[in-house]
Amino acid sequence: MANLAPSVLRQASRLASKSAISTAPRRGVQALSRAATAPAPARGACKRCYVTQSKSDNAQVQVDTAIRLDRAELEKAGAVLETQNGSTTHVSPMADVLKQAVKMDEGQRPIYLDMQATTPLDPRVLDAMLPYYTGVFGNPHSRTHAYGWESEHAVEQAREHIAKLIGADPKEIIFTSGATESNNMSIKGVARFFGRSGKKKHIITSQTEHKCVLDSCRHLQDEGFEVTYLPVNNLGLIDLDELKAAIRPETALVSIMAVNNEIGVIQPMAEIGKICRENKVFFHTDAAQAVGKIPLDVNALNIDLMSISSHKIYGPKGIGACYVRRRPRVRLEPLISGGGQERGLRSGTLAPALVVGFGEACRIAAEEIEYDSKRIKYLSDRLLNGLLAMEHTNQNGDPKHFYPGCVNVSFAYVEGESLLMALKDIALSSGSACTSASLEPSYVLRALGNSDENAHSSIRFGIGRFTTEAEIDYVLKAVTERVGFLRELSPLWELVQEGIDLNTIEWTQH
Amino acid sequence: MSAVQAAARPESAQKVLSLYRQLLRQGNQFSAYNFREYAKRRTRDAFRENKGVRTAEGAGAGAEGLKDLQMLKGKDEPGHGETMRQKDTGV
């Protein structure tokens, strides 16, 4: 907006912010949030209160932004609904009433652009799951009656779908509660099994791994293992020579994630797999963000252990899988002992409905991977080009090796958290969901060598199967305007506009 | 074989169009905006992609479409009887 706004306006807002430094930002945010929920009263309120010329102008810009794109959509939907009423009578007379109620609510919920945190359940997946919540309730491990057999059959079929997606054998898939458990199981399991003899007590991982990998490694450090945390370059990729140098005779495991959850960078899996195989070290990869989104083949990439999550690929939450290679066999100590289900690696009764949903999600992902990635690439390019066209923005991570569904952009001179607050009508995150409660800057961005300010001003946009073009356009418009608005409030931005290098300023504390 | 197909074509073209229309109509009934848009877009793109298909392989795509339609309508597969439900996940 900075280039759109006339310099007069900037001057005026500068005056305003100087005269009332403490109140101006708060008033700005209030006007923002009010504009986002109810455009009409915001305008009325601004006329009444004694703001300067620039303030009311700013507020008006916000009102324009906040007019929901969905309004036309809603009216159209309402019109369509009336004509459709006859066709759904076979469900129940209440269904139409409920549907209409839902339709009227629509437009109140934010646009969902946080697909790295979780994805919505695909209706096709739900359809596959439903029978296993009602009619088919048998324990899949019961071998003595038909209830058990039908559940077992469904579970085995799901296992096949998952195995097919990653090019594995169905017997190599172990169901767990999610990728976190898979990561824990792989890292602790392998380390403990091979550490028992006392010879292999070294693990290699990278600094940008997910928290559950890093935490598992720290836990092992307490148990007397040695861990090497490989640094990454400023694009987020690890150095293969450093990996080679880090491997020792006593190294048991290398754990490098496939697609980073915050910056979307894809590590060179094939090369890492080759190095590990040459050195006879097991290679574990956390592929929660990668499976079903980029093509993966465990045999071509020499992966020995892989963590998969269901709810990142439009499946149900609460289920995941761990791929454990059988030839050459990877041996690990189970975390959970009990009835010996899942090759004795993860005891406990499986949840057939969740497993079936997971399997169906994988089947759909395998079928749609081409269509989806083309579509996501298109939307991602649109978003990224629009965002990078603004001044003082840059993309985090390697622009060549990244998954297009994860776009991480830094907006200089804007506080990420305040931008998230300003973008109330868009569901976004500045980093992983696990750390979204804390105000600490993302450790992943710090590992790339970004400054604190840069890490603080980054936003992650996640695009998925159900994201529409209209949503992307709205997000682009909203982000552009509100970043401009927040920058207008910022004294730093003023200095930058005057051509002063911020690094030359000596800040005094008072 | 081809003669049979030629004879069957006008009818099957009609069938395909009817399937297309039904899929669009059913997809339009999702109350969640994102699912609705996806269903419409996916149907359109899939039919456009297979526009040129004239041979027996079209039957496979057709069968898939029928399966999707069954799912959208919320009809159950035979075998797992009395499960009544309304197709709506994302409120």
Contact A349, A175 (CB under 8 A): no
Using DSSP, state whether A108 is helix, strand or coil.
coil
pLDDT digits (tens, 9 = 90+) for B6-39: 444 555 788 888 888 988 998 898 888 999 999 9
Please check whether residue A307 lies inside any domain of the structure: yes
> Given a cut of 90, is residue A74 above it in pLDDT?
no
Residue B58 confidence class, pLDDT cut points 50, 70, 90: low
Report the residue of A75, A134, A374 to disrupt the B interface, i.e. the one with the largest count of B CBs within 10 Å.
Answer: A134
CATH number of the structural domain spanning residue A313: 3.40.640.10
From A51's Cα to the closest Cα of chain B, the distance in A is 39
In this structure, are residues A136 and B80 in contact, taking their beta carbons and an 8 Å threshold?
yes
Instruction: Decide if B44 touches A, using CB distance below 8 A.
Output: no
From chain B, pick out residues whose CB is under 8 angstroms from the CB of A468. Answer: 33-34, 37-38, 41
- Count of structural domains within chain A: 1
Cβ contact A466–B37 (<8 Å): yes
Give domain status of residue A509, yes or no.
no
What was the pLDDT predicted at A93? 54
Measured between CB atoms, which of A106, A126, A136 is closest to B33?
A: A106
Q: Report yes or no on A116 lying in a domain.
A: no
Q: Which residues of A229-261 are buried (b: 16+ CB within 10 A; e: fewer)?
A: bbebeebbbbeeeebeebbeeebbbbbbbbbbb
Query: Given pLDDT bands bounded at 50, 70 and 90, which one contains residue A438?
Result: confident
Residue A275 makes CB contacts below 8 A (sequence gap 6+) with: A240, A243, A244, A247
Report the percent of chain A where pLDDT is more than 70. Answer: 78
Q: Establish, for the pair of chains A and B, how many residue pairs have beta carbons separated by less than 8 Å.
A: 70
Identify the pLDDT of residue A439. Answer: 74
pLDDT digits (tens, 9 = 90+) for A141-172: 999 999 999 999 999 999 999 999 999 999 99
Query: From the CA atom positions of chain B, what is the Rg in Å?
Result: 15
CB atoms within 10 A of CB A34: 19
- CB–CB contact A465 B82 (8 Å): no
A158 is in which domain, residue-wise?
Answer: 125-365
pLDDT at residue number A460:
93
A428 in any annotated domain = no
Q: Which among B30, B32, B83 has CB closest to A131?
A: B83
Contacts of B47 in chain A (CB under 8 A): none
Residue of A nearest to B30 (CA): A99
Return the percentage of chain B with pLDDT > 90, whole number: 15
Chain A partners of B45 at a C-beta cutoff of 8 Å? 371
CA distances from A292 to A163, A377, B21 (A): 12, 15, 30
- A434 a catalytic residue: yes
Of A42-51, A95-104, A382-391, which has the strongest mean pLDDT? A382-391
Q: Quick check: is A103 in a domain?
A: no
User: Is B64 near chain A, with CB under 8 Å?
Assistant: no
Contacts of A74 in chain B (CB under 8 A): none
Q: What is residue B15's predicted lDDT score, i.e. its pLDDT? A: 83
A227 to each of A47, A190, A448, how far by Cα in Å?
62, 14, 20
Note whether B89 contacts A103, CB cutoff 8 Å: no
Using alpha carbons only, what angle is made at residue A366 by residues A211 and B61, rounded to the nearest 5 degrees? 155
d(CA A155, CA A175): 10
Helix (H) or strand (E) holding A393: strand A393-395
Determine, yes or no, domain membership for A422: no
Query: Where exactly are the structural domains of chain B?
Result: 2-73
Name the nearest CA neighbour of A392 among A12, A114, A3: A3
What is the DSSP annotation of A239-258?
PHHHHHHH--TTEEEEE--S
Q: What is the pLDDT of residues A407-431, one digit of tens each?
A: 999 999 998 888 988 998 999 988 7
Question: Does residue A183 form part of some domain?
Answer: yes
**Separation CA A507–CA A266 (nearest Å):** 39
Residue A265 lies in a domain: yes
Query: Quick one: pLDDT at residue A452?
Result: 85
Q: For residue A121, which residues of chain B lie inside 8 Å, CB to CB?
A: 89-90
